[in-house]
Every structure is written in structure tokens, then in C-alpha cells.
């Protein structure tokens, strides 16, 4: 049997950048360095659904965490992760190891260590006299995105612990090195 029984869950856009908000793609299709590393290590990949794409489609505007922190979006995140959670439980029950979840830092949904935040971002853009003021209010904060928060909560509710790692898209090479070190047990 050739299976190594190791699996990683990854954010949707790492395998399909086309799901990202227009203007945010940093690569053409897939995050090559990361996916090549996982393939070379023989690790199975489960692609998480993209909650932003599922709720607002491809023509959506960029959002911040505060805009997604609603009962509706949280409920949707729980609904779309539940089938994945069921797979994780079944895999683990049958001797497989889900070794990590890889998110995308900066994302209001899939950020692991950082997400974008703003108290001012939102509303009708045409009504703002000074859009620079609201754009300048957007900042990165050391928090997880809404989807990753819900995934962590659902895992904890089921007494599961899976390490969460992230790709920093402005420095993917460094992120891949850190993920490689994690896979080797160095961190």
C-alpha cells in the first residue's frame, strides 16, 4: 500500500487563485511553491471551500474582518466546514493524520496569524468625500480571520487539535520554508 496517510487542509485560493478578490492575485493559478512541496512530500490535500466566494461571488469588493463578523457569515462558515470536519473525523478514526491546516495571512476569512481590519471600511463608497481616509484605516492585526476562527472552534468542539499554518503572500518563499520546517518536525 502506497498511502502515507498524511493529509493537509488548505485555503481554497492556494489551489485556485481565481477565487480571490479581483486585483489580489499574486500568482497565476496555484501557489506553486507550496503545492510542489506538498506533492513532493506525498501529502494528500483537501481544498477548503472559499466562504467569501460562496457568499458574494467573484465580483465582490474586498472586505475586512469586521464586515464578515456577522451571525450570517459565521453560520455559513460552519455549514461549509461541517462536511470537511466529518471527513477529518473519519480519516482520523481510520488511522490517517491530518497534519495541518494552511491559511492565507491577511485574509479576513482565512488569515491564521494576521487579518485585515478597519472600523471605517464599509458603506456606499460613492458617498465618501475622502476615500483615502477610509483606505488608510485598513490595517493588519494579529488575529485569525472569521473562517479560521470557526474552523478552530468546530475542531475544539470535537476535541481535535490540528496545527494552523499560513502563507504570507507577500513573502511566500519564507512561508514555504517555515511550512517545510514544520513538516520536518523542526518547529
Q: Model confidence over 75-105: pLDDT tens digits?
A: 999 999 999 999 999 999 999 999 999 999 9
Question: Which is higher by pLDDT, 69 or 19?
Answer: 69
Mean pLDDT of the region 14-40: 88
Q: Is the pLDDT of residue 178 over 90?
A: yes
Pairing of strands 164-168, 97-105: parallel
What are the DSSP E strand ranges found in 39-88?
44-47
Phi, psi of 166, deg, nearest 5:
-145, 155
Mean pLDDT of the region 3-7: 94
The domain 6-59+71-105+144-183: what is its CATH number?
3.40.50
Torsion of CA 57, 74, 7, 38, to 10 degrees: 50
Neighbours of 154 (CB within 10 A): 17
- Residue 33 near residue 173 (C-beta atoms within 8 A): yes
Model confidence, pTM: 0.93
Question: What pLDDT is attached to residue 133?
Answer: 79
The three grid cell numbers given for residue 126, joined into one nine-digit string: 460613492
Question: Which of 156, 149, 47, 29 has its CA nearest to residue 102?
Answer: 47
Neighbours of 117 (CB within 10 A): 20
Q: Is the pLDDT of residue 1 over 70?
A: no
Cα distance between residue 46 and residue 7, in whole Å:
7
The pLDDT tens digits for 121-169 are: 887 877 777 788 778 889 999 999 999 999 999 999 999 999 999 999 8
For the chain, the average pLDDT equals 92
Question: What pLDDT is attached to residue 156?
Answer: 98
Amino acid at each position: 500500500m502506497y498511502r502515507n496517510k498524511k493529509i493537509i487542509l488548505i485555503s481554497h485560493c492556494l489551489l485556485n487563485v481565481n477565487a480571490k478578490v479581483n486585483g489580489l492575485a499574486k500568482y497565476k493559478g496555484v501557489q506553486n511553491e507550496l503545492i510542489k512541496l506538498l506533492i513532493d512530500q506525498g501529502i494528500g490535500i483537501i481544498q477548503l471551500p472559499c466562504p467569501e466566494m460562496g457568499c458574494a461571488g467573484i465580483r465582490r469588493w474586498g472586505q475586512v474582518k469586521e464586515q464578515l463578523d456577522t451571525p450570517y457569515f459565521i453560520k455559513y462558515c460552519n455549514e461549509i466546514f461541517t462536511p470537511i470536519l466529518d471527513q477529518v473525523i473519519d480519516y482520523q478514526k481510520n488511522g490517517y493524520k491530518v497534519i495541518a491546516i494552511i491559511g492565507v495571512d491577511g485574509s479576513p476569512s482565512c488569515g491564521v496569524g494576521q487579518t485585515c481590519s478597519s472600523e471605517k471600511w464599509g458603506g456606499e463608497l460613492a458617498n465618501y468625500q475622502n476615500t483615502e481616509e477610509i483606505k488608510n484605516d485598513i490595517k493588519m492585526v494579529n488575529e485569525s480571520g472569521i473562517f479560521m476562527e470557526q474552523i478552530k472552534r468546530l475542531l475544539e468542539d470535537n476535541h481535535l487539535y490540528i496545527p494552523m499554518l499560513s502563507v504570507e503572500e507577500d513573502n511566500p518563499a519564507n512561508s514555504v520554508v517555515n511550512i517545510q520546517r514544520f513538516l520536518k518536525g523542526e518547529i
